[in-house]
Amino acid sequence: MLWVKSFLRCVNGFINQSGSGHMSHIVKSFDASSATLHRGVNVVEASAGTGKTYAIAMLVLRFVVEFNVPVEELLVVSYTKAATEELRSRIRNRLLEARDLLAGSQQDCDDKAFLKYLDSLGNTTPALKRLELALLDMDRAAVFTIHGFCQRMLQEQALESGQFFDMELTADISQIQDELVFDYWRRNLYDLSPFHCSLFLNHFSDPRALYATVKGVAAKDRIEPSKRLPTDEALGLVDEAFELLVLWWQKNALNLEQSFRDAIEKGMFKKPFVTQFDSWWKQCSLFFSQNGQHFPKNLSLLTSQGLMAALNGNKLRGDAKK
């Protein structure tokens, strides 16, 4: 990666590839304490419980002792925070145990492969110095989750990446989405008149209901008309239409109510409409007399499509046959 200034030694923990850069067809058994460490990409395939964490801790120890690699230049990446904490602890313990065994302050160890490796070092003075320094720098060890590593690279190379120095990576953005949606709701609805709010709330009961209509829409998708009216102009047109509707209601409400009741007596409407008619009519009357402060349910019943849906088809077909 261009962001990494020096040679980045990525400890994947496994070797079944030769140093030539071509995949070997012969899978070799892997012993982290004695395997030859090749440059380049090296892979070990292993299932659960086969000692991957042990192998990674041993490889970190070998890079520190054999190649004098500062522990902060060794990158160890895992998937979860719990796994990274376990890795960091195991690496620290491995370095600490190696130092104590080489210094003679610890005598017992059940790991024969580990003891064999320490015995093979010969002159232990350089190894002890490197281990001491590594233990002092363990808090700077590059043991990260994938998100954590990306965040560190973006922070350290903020100028090259074009990001803010205090940028944070967030796995769960639902809280941020809620803040944006609620902020949009406040800025666009709180200053509206009761009538305009009632129109809006008839379609979207709360901010999350509004967000659900655009959730999943990609940034490149256009979800608004190309000739969108300014909000003030659109609301002005709504007000003009509502004034005309109020005038119509004042002139025709009594005749319309009587027509509805006559049709109900003849069984022309379905039962749900009949049972809720009185309540619905009262809501409509209040709506048109109080400047639309309380938007009635099923106002679409005043349209031809709404009326057709409420009609009793069986009654109409029966009368037609007669």
Listing DSSP states for 174-234 in one string gives: HHHHHHHHHHHHHHHHTTS-HHHHHHHHTT-SSHHHHHHTTTT--TT---S-TTPPPHHHH
Start-end of H helices in the chain: 52-67, 81-103, 112-119, 125-136, 146-156, 158-161, 174-189, 194-201, 207-212, 231-265, 271-289, 304-310, 313-321
Q: Average pLDDT, stretch 18-34? A: 61
Confidence of residue 225 (pLDDT cuts 50, 70, 90): low
pLDDT score of 224: 67
pTM for the model stands at: 0.48
Sheet holding 74-78, edge to edge: 9-10, 74-78, 142-145
**How far, in Å, CA of 120 to CA of 131, rounded?**
16
The two structure tokens encoding residue 220: 């490149």
The two structure tokens encoding residue 113: 């492969």
Percent with pLDDT over 70 in the chain: 84
The count of C-alpha atoms lying within 13 angstroms of the C-alpha of 217, restricted to the half-sphere facing its C-beta, is: 11
Query: Rg of the Cα trace of the chain?
Result: 37
pLDDT score of 319: 60
Give the Cβ contact number of residue 279 at 10 Å: 11
User: pLDDT digit string (tens) for 229-274?
Assistant: 788 888 889 889 888 988 999 999 999 999 999 999 988 889 988 9
What's domain 9-161's superfamily in CATH? P-loop containing nucleotide triphosphate hydrolases (3.40.50.300)
How does the average pLDDT of the chain come out, rounded?
A: 81
pLDDT score of 88: 92
pLDDT score of 126: 92
